Chain A
Amino acid sequence: MIPVLLIAIPLLSGLAGFFIKNGNTAKNWSLFMSLVTLAVSVFGLTVNKSAASLHFQAEWLPSLGSKFSVALDGMSQILSLLTAISFPIIFIATYNNQYKNARNFYALMLLSQAGLMGVFVSVDALLFYFFWELALVPVYFLSSLWGGEKRIQATFKFFIYTFVGSLLMLVGIIYLYLHTKHQSFSLADFYNLKTTIPAQDQGWLFWLFFIAFAIKMPIFPFHTWQPDTYEQSPTAVTMVLSGIMVKMGLFGLIRWLAPILPEGTWVWGDTASALCIIGMIYASLIAMQQDDLKRLVAYSSIAHIGLMCLAVFATTQIGLQGVMIQMFNHGINIIALWIVVDLIEKQLGTRKISELGGLAQKAPTLAILLVIVSLANIALPLTNAFVGEFLMFSGIYTSAATKYNVVFTVTAGISIILSAVYMLNMIQKVFFGNTNALTEKAKDIRWNEKIILAAIVIMIVVVGVYPQPMFELTKTTVENILAKMSYKF
């Protein structure tokens, strides 16, 4: 029942949220309900681990062979936990923001949470597609209604991009569905397909799915929607987009593409990896040139996601475990970065790096917390991202799926060095140096922001020092996936 609750709580409370008259009540209501969701998620992770409670199945469309079936395994546990943690963090961190029509804002936020949860727990292709789209629609409205000046064009581009991807994926899903033995959408039946679908069909099917996921992640050259959308969306939505939604793409890749079409993945893996590499270097170089804090974080996100995607195609046990751990870590870290960006923008009314300076003197707590988060973002030891990135690099280096291990490892390493360059450069310019007229007036952060950032820093360090529970959680999931992918090599 737990996966059902994870979807139902945000869905129902979101729908109810539309009818709350008072904006502040709606805010508290959403915060409370997101905490309930978090509690359920933690309960499923720690206390109640029985298989029966992590699976649920009900008839939905018997004539089509589609069931409402949801389940939690290691990977979906991690991602649903990320989703469950992120929303309260976002709500608390942006607690002081005032929105027009606040009840609609919070209701749509909860609906998007429901969609995301659904994506991560569904084990039926049609249901997965449903939630995949459902997560998108509320986000589109959120960004378009509460975003920046150029929000309409930016989010429209985003919507059309992702919609094209989803439709291509739909064609792929229907094709696979028609080839299953008893015309069913269940994941297990899809996994049995790999022997029946010939190699050349796997090739183009791979691209139908991969384009959908690549747009979501985003992978070069499908990334052009991303910086604009991140920049124009309200920060709370940007956090959802970059913290959780991009993980949908990686998740889809690991669950719905690689094990179903192992031969297609194997044939095209190097091409896709090359795209990841190009994107990583390209995004890092652009990030170094950015003056706008939001765009800088956006491009740095492209680079990090590229590394994770690369590690997926490496198909190794440690690499994949690294990806899963890193998906969680990246979500937490980037949300923290957005919180800081939002704080600076709210206080000083600008996001331009060139107009800031010397903030550390005025806001010491903020500076300390930001430095830790940034160090985590460049994966220094003792931070959470180090664990993930170290595993991914060893995975890529030892991979048997590609002949270009060394090239991939080295270029990916370069992009990490570049990320250190732009992150440290940003810290230096924004927080150190002399104050100017604008930053003279800056104040330190408020208690709710302090608590949230401190909590994130604690998570960063704890996962960085003691990642063992996450290893255990993902171990069997990865083993299962690799068993399905062991096609050749």
Chain B
Amino acid sequence: MMFSGAFSKSKNAVRYLAIAGAVLLLGGNILDMYMSSQGIHIFNIDTRRMLVFETFGLLFNSIAFASTLLYFLLSSKDIENVGANSGEYFALIFFVLCGVSLITSYNNLLMLFIGIEILSIPLYILTGSSKRNLKSNEASLKYFLMGAFSTGIMLLGIAFLYGASRTGSFFIDDIGIGRMPATPLFIVGLLLLIVSLSFKVSAAPFHFWTPDVYDGAPTVFTSFMATVVKGAAFIAFIRLFADSFIDAQPQWQLIIAIITAATLFIGNITAVFQQSVKRMLAYSSIAQVGFMLFAILSLKQMAQEGIILYTAAYSLATIGIFAILIKMKDPTFEGFNGLAKHQPVLAAVNTICLLSLAGIPLTAGFFAKYYMLAAALQTGKFLWLVIFAVLCAAVSVYYYFRVIQAMYFKDGEPQEIEASSSFKIVLIIVAILIVLLGIFPQWLINKLDILYL
């Protein structure tokens, strides 16, 4: 991919290659998923238990790859507009996807670490890819410093856990209470991992990089970061906790509950005060993380199903909104004024995406939130948190609907928005997917049931 830029003068060829690559990845992944449900693996590589390919991870992979595919279809032209080296951007994105696949299938803390690094380093570059833009440079540096810091913490945590394990092992099967004593060493390692993973998913109080980085990075890459990357980090989080630390749940559950409450509160309240839609989406993404954290809090079967649905719903909606945002000249709320009159299709799709993020029924976002709340209620302990989350969700309606209000109820100057018909068709597909998932979520969920049969 990287070299394709060097060989091919035409930008179109690079773009088509990228799309073809994404299709291939998606196809291969889905094929593997179906085969593995019958016990057959096509790509049988001996990873010496470093990686395991199971339905949960593969399903997330397909969501990530499908999102990327949609993302390419919608925004590949805009990726080219960021700078001169479009081939490199595509290549970096594929590197990130490589990291994603590692993260979803790790069976060993070292693989998790490597996966997160492969995921992060291309992102630092992408964030700074708008070279002449000071904000982009600042964001990149900030992201890099904070990212490196959190990576260090993660490595430290892994080292502690290694020390705490009886046999000195990095395998996640060997870690956890029952398999190792609950020594202070173990607890410290666990805490350090919570901190570093919270950083990666941008949960409060480790969220400070998110708004600046999302705002500074070129909007096309923000879209990618906010969806695929964030989802992947979450999968890492939940797999680690479900496989290793589930027996230690009493020790960390309250910490996660507090992080959840803080994330919901800060994300939602701060988003209310934003003037720029892009920054608002950054904070709203923090707020959405708060909801996803319910999955880790509960770790029931419902939570695992829910997180898959949540990432799918959230990715679809966010990619849709960002794709439209990229086309806008003015990323403030005023910029959206009167969009419904001039670009009815864009406005309608944007509305469906926003409704989905707000969790209104008939959109995928409703079932995503439903699963999270149900999973949390299943634990039987966190009713206060659920009520708090529900109130926060009501706050979120405020800022999502501000965009809808601007589009439909306010008048604005017509803007020159280049929206080709193919762009619109893909957007409509996104909207249809959101609504379909909102009525029949089980076609995604049922795939997961294979896991538990």
Contact = CB atoms under 8 A, between A and B. Distances in A.
B370 interface: yes
Nearest to A204: B383
Given A152-B409, A171-B377, A63 B387 contact: no
Interface in A126-167: 129-130, 133-134, 137, 141, 144-145, 151-152, 156, 159-160, 163-164, 167
A130 B366 CA distance: 9
B374 A174 contact: yes
A64 B443 CA distance: 12
Contacts of A62: 442
A168 interface: yes
Main secondary structure of the interface of A (DSSP, over half): helix
Interface stretch (B73-81, B105-113, B275-283, B389-397): B389-397
A63 B374 CA distance: 14
Nearest to A168: B390
Nearest to A147: B409
B394 A160 contact: yes
B377 A174 contact: yes
Contact of B360 (A63, A137, A168): A137
Contacts of B383: 175
Contact of B377 (A129, A164, A175): A175
Main secondary structure of the interface of B (DSSP, over half): helix
B85 interface: no
Interface string B375-419: 001100001001100110110011001000100110000000000
Contact of B397 (A141, A144, A163, A175): A163
A178 B378 contact: yes
Interface in B208-248: none
B405 A168 contact: no
B54 interface: no
A191 B18 CA distance: 56
A178 B370 CA distance: 13
Interface in B363-378: 366, 370, 373-374, 377-378
A147 to B, nearest CB: 9
Given A63-B446, A130-B361, A178 B373 contact: no
Nearest to A137: B360
B155 interface: no
Given A130-B362, A152-B409, A159 B401 contact: yes
Contacts of B377: 171, 174-175, 178
Q: Which 10 A-B pairs have the closest CB atoms?
A: A167-B390, A164-B394, A133-B361, A130-B361, A174-B374, A144-B409, A63-B442, A174-B377, A152-B409, A163-B397
Interface of B: 355, 360-362, 366, 370, 373-374, 377-378, 383, 386-387, 390-391, 393-394, 397-398, 401, 405, 408-409, 440-442, 445-446, 449
Given A164-B394, A174-B377, 15 more contacts: A61-B442, A133-B361, A134-B362, A141-B408, A144-B405, A151-B409, A156-B398, A156-B401, A159-B397, A160-B397, A164-B390, A167-B391, A171-B377, A174-B373, A178-B378
